[in-house]
Amino acid sequence: MNQPLQHTTVLLDEAVDALLGNGAAPAGSFVDGTFGRGGHTRLILQRLGPQGRLVAFDKDPEAIHEAARIQDARFSIRHQGFSRLGELPAASAAGVLLDLGISSPQIDDPARGFSFRFDGPLDMRMDTTRGQSVAEWLTDADVAQITEVIRDYGEERFAGPIAKAIVARRTQCGPIVGTSELADIVAGAVKTREPGQNPATRTFQALRIFINAELEELQQALEASLHVLAPGGRLVVISFHSLEDRIVKQFIARHSKEVFDRRAPFAAPQPMRLKALGRVKPGAAEVAANPRARSAVMRVAERTEVAA
């Protein structure tokens, strides 16, 4: 009998502490925008008061199945991406948590196609019930499109040679449908390798981010958080690579200052909407116990008073 794939939640205590603040048994409504396998959700529920509420979002059908095991009247989950956060009532949330990236069970399941460590179908969809897989997209994408995706989402300097190699293999042998085949193509096109990193790492990252529209969804969710958070509510975001963290950092910075309209120099400035509370990285002990934590960055901000 196969054992269930395990997931270790990164910055678990730090994230929940930041989300709930220092108050005991919070009574507000909170949002876990990325349920995953429920690590943050379960700890939030442990610390939530009887009148508290927690709504979670996740696109992955397996996450929805896992969430069904939580029998708690204070909890509900939506089979949606966190870009749908804005559908919640205005100023209704005392905190919003976004734990970005993918979970260990997703990476470690060959059937999901996220990893080059296992041979499996080249899928990579977070929501396997809808949308186009990576294999399907690569069937028709041209060299310019593939280059753009690998360069922009993977920050891969050999994006052009990789794209040409993919199209050449497709033309010669037919559609590329497996993870091992793609990893081999990339390895043959990458001339120099970063120490300790598989040459396919950046390409797989890029295709996953693209096929799931991860950066676009993150931008939508951050904007929606301003609508959903009540004054004093916390925004907590854990990122795992520079593209995500840059978006979060710039978003918090942009809304943490007053905005003046140059066309109306005597008008009152638009008040700042967020107050940055800090940046946290995993400690040495956590990274030693869970190497996947090494790239994590958590940023925390607080919603300021909403102008009348």
| 253 touches 276 (CB < 8 A) | yes
Domain that holds residue 171: 127-211
**Domain-terminating residue out of 146, 177, 211:** 211
What's the rounded Cα separation, in Å, for the pair 102 and 291? Answer: 14
Q: Is residue 54 part of a domain?
A: yes
Count of structural domains within the chain? 2
Q: Are residues 207 and 231 in the same domain?
A: no
What pLDDT shows up at residue 270? Answer: 64
What pLDDT shows up at residue 103? Answer: 82
Q: Could you tell me which of 34, 27, 81, 35 has the C-alpha nearest to residue 53?
A: 27
Task: Give residue-wise pLDDT tens across range 279-289.
Answer: 999 999 999 99
What CATH number should be reported for the domain holding residue 197?
1.10.150.170
What pLDDT shows up at residue 11? Answer: 94
**Domain-terminating residue out of 179, 211, 243:** 211
Q: Which H helix or E strand runs over 217?
A: helix 214-228
The pTM of the full predicted model, rounded to 2 decimals, is 0.90
Q: Is residue 84 part of a domain?
A: yes
| 271 touches 304 (CB < 8 A) | yes
**Domain-terminating residue out of 154, 182, 211:** 211
Dihedral of CA atoms 241, 242, 244, 250 in degrees, nearest 10, equals: 150
Q: Is residue 34 part of a domain?
A: yes
Q: Are residues 172 and 203 in the same domain?
A: yes
| 34 touches 58 (CB < 8 A) | yes
- How far apart are the two ends of the chain, measured CA to CA in Å? 60
| 120 touches 135 (CB < 8 A) | no
Strand pairing class (29-32; 93-99):
parallel
| 234 touches 18 (CB < 8 A) | yes
Q: Is residue 253 part of a domain?
A: yes
Q: Which residue has the tokens 């120490």?
A: 195
Q: Is the dihedral of CA 66, 292, 183, 243 positive or negative?
A: positive
What pLDDT shows up at residue 113? Answer: 92
What's the rounded Cα separation, in Å, for the pair 126 and 107? Answer: 11
What pLDDT shows up at residue 90? Answer: 95
Q: Are residues 193 and 276 in the same domain?
A: no
| 9 touches 292 (CB < 8 A) | no
Task: Give residue-wise pLDDT tens across range 94-113.
Answer: 999 999 978 888 888 999 99
DSSP 8-state secondary structure symbol assigned to residue 270: B
Regions in the chain scoring below 50 on pLDDT: 1-5, 307-308
